[in-house]
Amino acid sequence: MTAPEVSTCTALGGVVAQAVTRRYGLRTALNDVSLEIGRGVTGLLGRNGAGKTTLMRCLSTDLDPSSGRLEILGRNPERSGERTEIRRRLGHLPQNPTLYPHFTAFGLLDYIAVLKELGGRRRRHDEVRRVLSLVGLYDRRFTRVRRLSGGMKQRLALAGALLGEPQLLLLDEPTIGLDPEQRIRFRDLVSEFATTRTVVLSTHQIEDVEALCNGVIVLDEGRLVFTGTPAELIGQARGHVWALPERPSAGTTTWRRPDGRYRVLTPYATRPPEGYGESAEPVDPTLEDGYLLLTGAADGTAVSGSA
């Protein structure tokens, strides 16, 4: 992938990264990452330790890159005045949000709203009620945080990120602990939000990416290995997925299907594992297949990505 030009197009709500590297001591968590993220929902995928949270923290201006350049919402986060402007316009749901347990749900959000400088008391309270309703916690507004369930706490943290209608919303594993009903509600909320703004969604839940994202970024060991649409990522696995009558010695068996056939990913070529010929049935790939092939998780060998 060629490095995108830093341009004023990000003023509309996007992000540009140019050769961004971030080290923690000797460990390189992000390695020469160049990408462009525009309006809509972009899914950020990668194995544990791939660098997703590090990238999210750089985009939230919580962490400075060791080298390279970022442009966020048309501003340069290296300049303190512009960094403040970016912070005013972004909502960040971090991986492990801190929620003070003795606050009520309302009180905590009001506290965050004060820190976000969301106007006078009345406007602030209206905004707190709005986001509580959005995440389905309005009825729990006077419940203390410590008495909320894990999924409710996660929704409360999401409400905090939504305060003030940010132009850029960074969500690090937002659906952890949500029940199916709440996950659907989350998808509805984020997809509506993203019609006019930018959302970056870091997740291990590939179904959420399939359901929501118009763009996908895959990181592997700190490097960008894919950027494109979900359909393009699925396309990476076309011809690599087969159903076989028995478990083969080559390829990666994803699972034994209810019909007794083995669903197999073949990273090395778009043909069935040797010896199966006619008995191999081609299977339509999923986003997960594309992701597994790209990151080398299937048979330990990566196919070439489009990054």
Ligand X SMILES: Nc1ncnc2c1ncn2[C@@H]1O[C@H](COP(=O)(O)OP(=O)(O)OP(=O)(O)O)[C@@H](O)[C@H]1O
Residues that bind ligand X (CB under 6 A): 24, 27, 29, 46, 48-54
Nearer to ligand X, 62 or 274 (CB): 62
Shortest CB 30 distance to ligand X, Å? 7
Closest CA to 294 of 213, 208, 230: 230
Are 175 and 260 contacting, i.e. CB atoms less than 8 angstroms apart? no
Which residues sit opposite 253 in a β-bridge? 264
Nearer to ligand X, 25 or 260 (CB): 25
DSSP code of residue 161 = H
Shortest CB 26 distance to ligand X, Å? 9
Shortest CB 48 distance to ligand X, Å? 3
Q: CB neighbours (10 Å) of residue 192? A: 10
Q: Over the Cα atoms of the chain, what is R_g?
A: 21
Using CB atoms within 10 Å of the CB of residue 218, give its burial: 0 to 12 exposed, 13 to 18 middle, 19+ buried. buried
Q: Where are the alpha helices (DSSP H) in the chain?
A: 52-59, 80-88, 105-115, 121-134, 150-162, 180-193, 206-212, 230-235, 287-294
DSSP code of residue 251 = S
Residue 180 to residues 137, 140, 172, 213: CA-CA distances in angstroms? Answer: 16, 20, 18, 18
Nearer to ligand X, 46 or 251 (CB): 46
Shortest CB 215 distance to ligand X, Å? 18
Residue type (1 letter), 54: T
Shortest CB 44 distance to ligand X, Å? 8
Shortest CB 96 distance to ligand X, Å? 10
Nearer to ligand X, 22 or 155 (CB): 22
Shortest CB 261 distance to ligand X, Å? 32
Nearer to ligand X, 24 or 100 (CB): 24
Nearer to ligand X, 37 or 241 (CB): 37
Q: CB neighbours (10 Å) of residue 84? A: 13
Nearer to ligand X, 49 or 273 (CB): 49
